[in-house]
């Protein structure tokens, strides 16, 4: 650092000694703050993007209300379990939880905006289409509302300013599912994507392909289940070498079971996510296994995280997603899990 002296030159011994003592005192006063800065820098970890928006500082206080806004269709069995988890946490912690959902990204963004306008104390959001929600989420962060993302969009969570993410690493889960099918002796897999533009579904198929090897993908529309079943049947009839079908949604799994029967294919079927039909199919041997991401936790844990953040400024995960899966349900454990599915917690 350059000297502030306009005309540097030799300094008499006494003033030099005095200056040295003054500088040492200043250094001692600064040392603790330099150490704190070093710890903060170290905790950010390698590769941390310092340009991403940070969560606005929140005043320590009570968490009274939480809005949960997901991308699932209202009444969907999977998202009902998420809702059950969030509401159970709210009841236990004394927090009012309002749950809303929409499969349309634009409408989901509006639901987030409405929650922010109402001044909720915390926000939980699933991000199947992160870019469509970015502006709304960042507005919430700027307003000092802590955000926890769930289920989808973990790669964008921190960049948008969320304090944490709760969910399943879709690529990792897909890879595990693909490997299971490969270990079962299957050689060609059909991966059925049920929702266009869903980043989580694409990650699942990409991971499954990596874990399995040879795979083809098929796009269907979950909102048209009859057509989805026909498309799966057509793919099996057109290529008899397909001996494994992986669906990414429990509702489509039931359609795949019917499609395999109608096409007289001998393909084994596996799926992501649980519902009563999936449990019944696993018991009957129509489904090999289900990848369970334990979505009850995706509703429950974020409310706890927001409560801890509001009351004690705690963070969870150390900058990494809190993983809820993959867990697997097959014939070995389906009878135990079935009762939990029936009560709406699995």
Q: Is residue 94 part of a domain?
A: yes
Backbone angles phi, psi at 159, to 5 degrees: -65, -30
Same-domain status, 90 and 178: no
Q: Are 245 and 220 within 8 A, CB to CB?
A: no
Same-domain status, 287 and 300: no
Provide the pLDDT for residue 58: 56
Q: Is residue 204 part of a domain?
A: yes
Provide the pLDDT for residue 11: 40
Q: Is residue 334 part of a domain?
A: no
Residue 341's CB is within 10 A of a number of other CB atoms, namely 19
Q: Residue 249 to residues 26, 105, 163, 245: CA-CA distances in angstroms?
A: 63, 19, 28, 12
What is the C-alpha end-to-end distance of the chain, expressed in Å? 62
Backbone angles phi, psi at 54, to 5 degrees: -95, 155
Same-domain status, 162 and 303: yes
Q: Tens digits of per-residue pLDDT, 128-171?
A: 999 999 999 999 999 999 999 999 999 999 999 999 999 999 99
Provide the pLDDT for residue 43: 38
267-285 mean pLDDT: 96
| Residues facing 247 on adjacent strands | 192, 271
SS (H, E, C) the chain: CCCCCCCCCCCCHHHHHHHHHHHHHHHHHHHHHHHHHHHHHHHHCCCCCCCCCCCCCCCCCCCCEEEEEECCCCCCHHHHHHHHHHHHHHHHHCCEEEEEECCCHHHHHHHHHHHHHCCCCEEEEECCCHHHHHHHHHHHHHCCCCEEEECCCHHHHCCCCCCEEEECCHHHHHHHHHHHHHHCCCCCEEEEECCCCCHHHHHHHHHHHHHHCCEEEEECCCCCHHHHHHHHHHHHHHCCCCCEEEECCHHHHHHHHHHHHHHCCCCEEEEECCCHHHHHHHHHCCCCEEEECCHHHHHHHHHHHHHHHHHHCCCCCCCCCEECCCEEECCCCHHHHHHHHHCCCC
Same-domain status, 301 and 287: no
Same-domain status, 193 and 251: yes
From the list 230, 222, 225, the residue with the least C-alpha distance to 194 is 222
Same-domain status, 275 and 305: no
Q: Is residue 309 part of a domain?
A: yes
Same-domain status, 205 and 159: no
Of 28-32, 120-124, 305-309, which range is least confident? 28-32
Provide the pLDDT for residue 108: 98
Same-domain status, 175 and 146: no
Cα 323–chain centre separation = 8
Same-domain status, 268 and 247: yes
Query: Could you tell me the pTM of the whole model?
Result: 0.77
298-313 mean pLDDT: 97
Q: Is residue 20 part of a domain?
A: no
In CATH, what number is assigned to the domain containing residue 144? 3.40.50.2300
Provide the pLDDT for residue 326: 95
Of 4-13, 69-78, 176-185, 249-258, which range is least confident? 4-13
**Residue-averaged pLDDT of the chain:** 86
Same-domain status, 135 and 187: no
Q: Is residue 337 part of a domain?
A: no
Contacts of 292 (CB under 8 A, 6+ apart): 273, 274, 325, 326, 327, 328, 329, 337, 346
pLDDT category of residue 97 using cuts at 50, 70 and 90: very high
Provide the pLDDT for residue 72: 84
Same-domain status, 164 and 72: yes
Same-domain status, 110 and 163: yes
Pairing of strands 268-272, 244-247: parallel
291-313 mean pLDDT: 97
Asked if the model's pLDDT at residue 345 lies above 50, the reply is yes
Q: Is residue 44 part of a domain?
A: no
Provide the pLDDT for residue 214: 84
Domain that holds residue 192: 170-292
Q: Tens digits of per-residue pLDDT, 208-266?
A: 999 999 899 999 999 999 999 999 999 999 999 999 999 999 999 999 999 999 999 99
Asked if the model's pLDDT at residue 309 lies above 50, the reply is yes
Q: Is residue 58 part of a domain?
A: no
Buried-state track 273-284, b at ≥16 Cβ within 10 A, e below 16: bbbebbbebbee
Question: How many structural domains comprise the chain?
Answer: 2
């Amino acid at each position: 650092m350059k000297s502030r002296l306009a005309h540097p030159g030799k300094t008499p011994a006494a003033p030099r000694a005095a200056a040295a003592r003054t500088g040492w005192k200043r250094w001692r006063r600064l040392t603790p703050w330099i150490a704190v800065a070093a710890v903060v820098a170290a905790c950010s970890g390698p590769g941390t993007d310092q340009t991403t928006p940070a969560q606005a500082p929140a005043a320590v206080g009570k968490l009274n209300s939480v809005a949960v806004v997901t991308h699932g269709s209202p009444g969907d069995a999977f998202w009902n379990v998420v809702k059950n988890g969030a509401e159970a946490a709210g009841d236990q912690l004394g927090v009012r939880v309002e749950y809303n959902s929409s499969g349309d990204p634009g409408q989901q963004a509006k639901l987030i905006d409405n929650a922010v306008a109402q001044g909720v104390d915390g926000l939980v959001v699933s991000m199947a289409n992160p870019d469509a929600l970015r502006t709304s989420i960042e507005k919430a962060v700027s307003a000092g509302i802590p955000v926890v993302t769930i289920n989808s969009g973990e790669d964008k969570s921190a960049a948008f300013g969320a304090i944490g993410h709760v969910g399943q690493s879709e690529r990792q889960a897909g890879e595990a599912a693909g490997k299971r099918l490969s270990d079962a002796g299957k050689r060609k897999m059909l991966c059925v994507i049920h929702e266009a533009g869903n980043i989580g579904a694409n990650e699942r198929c990409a991971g499954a392909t990596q874990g399995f090897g040879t795979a083809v993908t098929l796009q269907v529309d979950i909102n048209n289940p009859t057509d989805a079943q026909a498309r799966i049947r057509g793919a099996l009839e057109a290529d008899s070498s397909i001996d494994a079908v992986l669906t990414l949604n429990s509702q489509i799994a039931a359609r795949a079971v019917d499609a395999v029967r109608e096409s007289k294919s001998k393909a084994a079927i596996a799926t992501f996510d649980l519902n009563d039909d999936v449990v019944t199919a696993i018991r009957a041997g129509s489904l090999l296994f289900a990848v369970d991401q334990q979505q009850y936790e995706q509703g429950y844990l974020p409310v706890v995280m927001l409560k801890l953040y509001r009351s004690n400024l705690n963070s969870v995960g150390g900058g990494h997603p809190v993983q809820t899966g993959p867990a697997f349900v097959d014939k070995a454990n389906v009878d135990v899990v079935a009762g939990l599915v029936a009560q709406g917690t699995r």
